[in-house]
Structure 1
Amino acid sequence: MNRYVRLLGVVSLAALAVGMVEARELRLASGAPPAHPASDPLYNSFAEFLPEETNGELTGLMIGPEVVNIGTVKQALQSSLAEVGNLLPLFVPADLPNTALMGDLSFLATTPHAMGAAMTEYVVTCGECQAEFKTMGGVFVGAGSSDVYVLLTTKPVNSLADMKGLRLRSGGAPYARWAEKLGAAPAQVPVSDQFEAVSQGVLDGTMASISDLISYRLIDVAKYIIDVPLGTYHTTSNFTVATTAWSELTPEQREGFARAANKSSALFTQSWGYDRAASARQAAVDAGIQVIPASQDLLDATNEFRFSDIPDAVALAESQLGVTDAADKIARFQTLVDKWTAITAATEGDVDAIAAAVQTEVWDKVDWSTYGL
């Protein structure tokens, strides 16, 4: 009897060992510091959901920002240093022009959850977007959104005149165009470098999520929050999978990967777009940072920019990036924003319900034997 029990134990251990060998560990790069929502909850929750949604067949190994930061995700994916990465299309518009084009609607944003869902559906169903990801060597598996951006500065902005010459960090083309239109001087600085640039006086501030006060320690250098609504940062590719790694997964594993990514993206938007923004604002007040409401002339100039910039964005996309029918693509995205604004409003902020809606409306319609290949 004891011999039989021992034999069963050996067989069980052997089976377990085989299962462990067969499990595929993917190298994951959020590109963000631990305090940023792209790290937690986005990638931390994904590392938990991934084995759950793939019956333990896929797991993740986190790579820190000291190895792969947000500005080097594309290179890390192409070199296979990372197999899954948080890629920002506005950082690589020449590679992903049709995808980055949607960033030009930042200033027309509604709510964060609606923008993240609309971006997800747009890219999944955009043939040219899919083609450019394939050419770059990656697969798009979902987007998310920030809160509505504001100005975080070391100088007060009490009127439109105070914008003149203000040196501001820009996270993408639409923000740079807004700053230039209003007389400021935008600079394309990686988000991970904005603390140093502001602390050393190279920049007077940044156009950013208010949660950057905590995520990137700007609370130690910023003196003012200028409450001018600058739209959301929703042109993301939260989980960009290197094509080589994606091709090695079974259709069932890809489907499970997407379920895990979808759940994590909803949590990410809830955190970045709502929860952390509220906490950061309170922390700023407690730290003595002054909140300055946008002056009427600053609001008027920003509102005028929201609509007048679209023709310029279309012209630039077509002439400089080779995007065709840009106006039609923007109109389609606006339709999706309206669709998802209604859907997310009906959920009354229930994150699980929002994730379920995206799963039903987008991911359940994907053919996993061909998607991304």
Structure 2
Amino acid sequence: MTPWIRRAIGLTAVVAAATSLVLPAQAQNRELRYAIGQPPSALPVIGGQAFAKAVAQATEGKLTVKVYAMSLLNMAETSAGLRDGLADIGFVLTPYFPAEYPHTNVISEASMMLRLMGDKVRGKEGLAYIPAMTEFIFTKCPECHEEFAKQNQVYTGHVGGSSYGLICNKPVKSEADMKGKRFRVGAANWARWVTAMGGSPVTMSANEMLEALKQGVVDCIVLSSPEIRNFGLTEVVTDIAMAAPGGIFSTAGSNVNMRVWRSLTNEQRAALLRGASVAAANVPFAYHRVENEVLDQMKKRGARIHETDPALVQKSQVFIEQDMKTIADYFASKHGVKRSAQMLAEFRPILSKWVDLVQTVSTEEQYADLYWREVFSKVDTATYGMK
């Protein structure tokens, strides 16, 4: 390197440093990149837009967020891409990465626990489970924060949808129907359920579901009904049965790159949490609002909506009870989660509390206010994620 190049580089560094002194971070407008691996019309992307709007409002436009739907990073790329700074905020599907997020996934995989909560949670599964999980991670899972930190991320809450059933291209409504069939699953709990009921689980990215069902690579997808619309499956789905297996898919909806988080002012970090709370309320509320609407539309298009065989539902209930121990044992032995059984025991009363809390919720605004009051408002952004 020649002397004049070294001098030029040195001068540039001095100018940059001087500029940073003259223009402190809080005086500069800034735009953050938010990667969501779902299609632009998908409900989580709409939730991401609500996140962006809330952040802009809270900062009077000084901090803005641009949502990149299925463009900047796909679902499989988001975790590492957020870690490496390719995005500033990311929709991180933790169940896709069991080795990186084992403590978080203990609770994610336990979502079929909802079927043990009684009838009053029906139709409100996501409304109860998502805030319960977020509260648990914020308050009772330091190991969860440690594993996010190892991925250079700061956790800002979960999002998720409505209850899972069987979305198929042929009738599958009983245990006999399941035998010999191939089922795309998005997490290990549903893979275990499929195996226990006589089917064969297939793991693939959600972005591949359409072609897999269209080409006959799989016979069914274990999925919630709104995802039929979100992933453009309308033309290939002919048969639906929603009474089993249950559970919901949840994910860290708006994790922030740690370096980005620490570069923001306290007010800007608080604005991101406000945005996260809005998205966390918007997404599950939207899923529950449209789940029956999607089923009605599919029925009008000629799809068959089946009643699930009661024997399959009963066998699923027995499986779920047993699977709570399986989850604890698996994560302890496979991923070294020493507190797995304790975590599930501590989580269950939090979930029960939220099942009760959401019984009187009738609007998204009520839900968002409840979520903010019970969880997000208690996070101290002056210290959270800063060391």
Provide the TM-score with structure 1 as the length reference: 0.91
Distance (whole Å) between structure 1 residues aligned to residue 362 and residue 341 of structure 2: 31
Aligned partners of 1:143 and 1:234 also within 8 Å: no
What corresponds to 1:69 in structure 2? 74
1:318 equivalenced with 2:324 (yes/no):
no
**Deviation string, structure 1 residues 1-26 (Cα, Å, up to 9, x no partner):** xxxxxxxxxxxxxxxx9999711100
Aligned partners of 1:165 and 1:183 also within 8 Å: yes
What corresponds to 1:357 in structure 2? 370
Aligned partners of 2:80 and 2:151 also within 8 Å: no
What corresponds to 1:11 in structure 2? none
Correspondent of 1:119 among 133, 147, 152: 133
What corresponds to 1:98 in structure 2? 103
**Mapping for residues 1-373 of structure 1, pairs under 5 Å:** 22-40=28-46, 42-109=47-114, 110=121, 111-125=125-139, 126-272=141-287, 274-346=288-360, 348-373=361-386
**Unpaired segments ≥5 residues, structure 1:** 1-16
Q: Give the C-alpha shift of residue 279 in structure 1.
A: 1.9
Q: Which residue identity does 2:203 align to in structure 1? A: Q
Q: Give the C-alpha shift of residue 43 in structure 1.
A: 0.9
Distance (whole Å) between structure 1 residues aligned to residue 261 and residue 246 of structure 2: 33
**Unpaired segments ≥5 residues, structure 2:** 1-22, 115-120
Q: Give the C-alpha shift of residue 360 in structure 1.
A: 1.9
Query: For 1:218, what is the secondary structure of its paired residue?
Result: coil
Q: Which residue identity does 1:101 align to in structure 2? A: V
Query: For 1:303, what is the secondary structure of its paired residue?
Result: helix
Distance (whole Å) between structure 1 residues aligned to residue 39 and residue 344 of structure 2: 33
Q: Give the C-alpha shift of residue 52 in structure 1.
A: 0.5
Query: For 1:236, what is the secondary structure of its paired residue?
Result: strand
Q: Give the C-alpha shift of residue 60 in structure 1.
A: 1.1
Aligned partners of 1:103 and 1:174 also within 8 Å: no
Q: Give the C-alpha shift of residue 28 in structure 1.
A: 0.7
Distance (whole Å) between structure 2 residues aligned to residue 53 and residue 291 of structure 1: 44
Query: For 2:250, what is the secondary structure of its paired residue?
Result: coil
Aligned partners of 1:54 and 1:257 also within 8 Å: no
Distance (whole Å) between structure 2 residues aligned to residue 305 and residue 80 of structure 1: 41
> How big is the alpha-carbon RMSD for the aligned residues of Structure 1 and Structure 2?
1.8
Aligned partners of 1:115 and 1:234 also within 8 Å: no
Provide the TM-score with structure 2 as the length reference: 0.88
Distance (whole Å) between structure 2 residues aligned to residue 44 and residue 232 of structure 1: 26
Q: Percent identity?
A: 29
Residue correspondences, number: 354
Aligned partners of 2:30 and 2:64 also within 8 Å: yes
**Deviation string, structure 1 residues 290-328 (Cα, Å, up to 9, x no partner):** 011110221121111110111111110100011012111
Aligned partners of 1:83 and 1:245 also within 8 Å: yes
Query: For 1:35, what is the secondary structure of its paired residue?
Result: coil
